[in-house]
Structure 1
C-alpha cells in the first residue's frame, strides 16, 4: 500500500469582505522583515550609516515586487499581458516570478549604489543575499499553502495530494485532489534554508564579505543551481514549456549560475601588485 499525505491546508488566513488574506502574503512579509533585521546586524557590525539601511529596504522591496510581477507576466504569458496591460497590476490574483524579482533587485541596487551608498553593487549584494535564502524558503512555503507549483506524480511516501480545484474548494465545493506528487515547494525551501545557513556562516563567522562578490557568487550557484535540478521534478507552468529540454525556469537560471561562477573566481583570484 502506497503512503501519501493529503494536503488540505487552507491558503487563506481570514477574509475581509471579498478579499482573502493569505499565508503566502504573510510569509512574504515575515521574510522581508526578518531580512531587514539581519541586514541591520551587518550594518552595526560594519558601523554603516543607518539612513543607508532604510533606503536599502525601500529599493529592495519595490524592486523585488515590481520585478517579480513583470517577470511572471513577460516571461510566462507575454501575449496575454501585453494585450491586457491592466491585468499586470492585479497582483492579488497571483503570479510572481523569482527570476523577475532577482532582476528587479539588480536594477534597484544599481540605482541604490549610485544614489545612496556610492559603493559597488557587489558591496550591497554581499549583504543583501545573506537573508534572501530565508525569504525565498518562506515564499516557497507560501506556495505550499496555496497548493501550487508542485511536482510530478510520485509513489514516494512523502508524496502530497494537493487540492486541484482550489478556488472552488474554498467556495464550498468538494475538493478534487491530485494524485500523490513531489512536494517540490518543500524541496526548494530546504535548499534555500541551507543556502541561508551557509551565507550566514560565511558573513558572520568567516567574514567573507571582505572578498567582494564571494558570498554573492556562492548564493547564486546554490539558489539557481538547486532550482535547475528541482525543475526536473516540477510540472510545467505554461503550455509552451511542454516538450522543452529545459523549461523556462531552468533557462532563466543558467545565466545566474554562470554569473555566480564568475564572481567566485573574481573574488578568489590573486590580486595584482
Structure 2
C-alpha cells in the first residue's frame, strides 16, 4: 500500500526547532537540551563523587574535559565516519558545528580520551572507576540529545506503517519510525540498569562494572535500532550493516570482554551484606 495514501492516519511532527526568541537570540531545542544534559550530568556526577568521599570540585575540571571531548569527538566522528569526502573537499566546514553534524560514536571515543587525560592528574583515581560514573551521566544525557534530534526532525527512521509512525513534515510526508525516541527510551533503560547496580553495591560497584554494562547494553541496543534508521553515510548505503552498526560492534565486544574477564562480580553487594 502507498504510504503517502496513509499519511493522514499517522502523527504529524512539524515543530519549529527554535525553542524561543530572546531579542536577536533564538536558542534551538537541540542546543537547550544539549546544555541541559550537561547541567543534569554535572549535578549527578557531583553526587557520585560525594558518595565516594571525593572533592566535588574535581567535577568542575572533569566537566571541562568531558565537554571538550564530547564536542570535538562528536564532530570529528561525523566528519570521518559519515561524510569524509565532503569535509576533505571543504575543510573549512569542519569547524562550522552550527551547520549540524555530530556523531554519538565519535562522542564516545572523545569522552574516553578525555577521561584518560583527566585521570593523569589524580594518582588515586583509576580509569575504570571514573568511567563507571561518567557512563551513568552519558546514558541519561543521551535521552536529552536524542529528544533534541526529534525536535529538529533529524536522524529519522525508515518509512513504516506501524501505528506509532511519525510524519516529519520538514523531511517529507512519509510515515517513519521515530528512531530518535527509540534511542531516547533505550538510554533511559540503560540509565535505570546502571543506577540500579550502582545502588545495589551501596554506591561502590565493582570497578569497571558500570562501564562494561553501558558498552554492552547501549551499543547492542543501538545495533538493533539502526535497522529502523535511515543510513547516515551515503557511501555505506549498500553495506550489509550500516556505519552505526559497524561502529557499535567493537564497543559491544569491549563491554562483553570487561564483563567476563575484568570485572570482579564477587564483590559483595547490599543484598549479600544483609543476609
Structure-1 residue corresponding to 2:188:
193
Structure-1 residue corresponding to 2:211:
216
Structure-2 residue corresponding to 1:56:
62
Structure-2 residue corresponding to 1:174:
none
Distance in 1, matches of 2:202 and 2:27, equals 40
C-alpha deviation, 1:270, in angstroms: 6.8
Structure-1 residue corresponding to 2:121:
115
Structure-2 residue corresponding to 1:47:
53
**Structure-to-structure mapping, 1:239-258, within 5 angstroms:** 239-258=234-253
Instruction: Point out the more displaced range, 153-162 or 77-86.
Output: 77-86
**Is 2:78 the partner of 1:72?**
yes
Structure-1 residue corresponding to 2:271:
none
Asked if structure 2 preserves the Cα contact closer than 8 Å seen for 1:137 and 1:190, the reply is: yes
Match of 1:129 among 118, 126, 135: 135
Asked if structure 1 preserves the Cα contact closer than 8 Å seen for 2:233 and 2:243, the reply is: no
**Is 2:41 the partner of 1:23?**
no
SS at match of 2:20: strand
**Structure-to-structure mapping, 1:92-241, within 5 angstroms:** 92-116=98-122, 118-165=124-171, 177-207=172-202, 209-241=204-236
Distance in 2, matches of 1:245 and 1:229, equals 13
Distance in 2, matches of 1:18 and 1:179, equals 34
Q: Which runs of 5+ in 1 are unaligned?
A: 166-176
SS at match of 1:21: coil
Asked if structure 2 preserves the Cα contact closer than 8 Å seen for 1:152 and 1:182, the reply is: yes
**Is 2:253 the partner of 1:267?**
no
**Structure-to-structure mapping, 1:6-21, within 5 angstroms:** 6-15=12-21, 20-21=26-27
Residue by residue over 1:201-226, the C-alpha shift from the partner in whole angstroms, topping out at 9 and shown as x without a partner, is 11123347431111110011111111
Q: Which runs of 5+ in 2 are unaligned?
A: 268-275
Q: TM-score, normalised by structure 1?
A: 0.89
Q: TM-score, normalised by structure 2?
A: 0.89
Alpha carbons of structure 1 residues 17 and 86: separation in structure 2 relative to 1, 3 Å? farther
Q: Please report the RMSD computed on the Cα atoms of aligned residues, expressed in angstroms.
A: 1.9
Asked if structure 2 preserves the Cα contact closer than 8 Å seen for 1:14 and 1:20, the reply is: yes
SS at match of 2:216: helix
C-alpha deviation, 1:30, in angstroms: 0.5
Residue by residue over 1:6-41, the C-alpha shift from the partner in whole angstroms, topping out at 9 and shown as x without a partner, is 111111113567764210011111111101101111
Equivalences, count: 260
SS at match of 1:103: helix
C-alpha deviation, 1:78, in angstroms: 1.3
SS at match of 2:253: helix
Distance in 2, matches of 1:209 and 1:70, equals 34
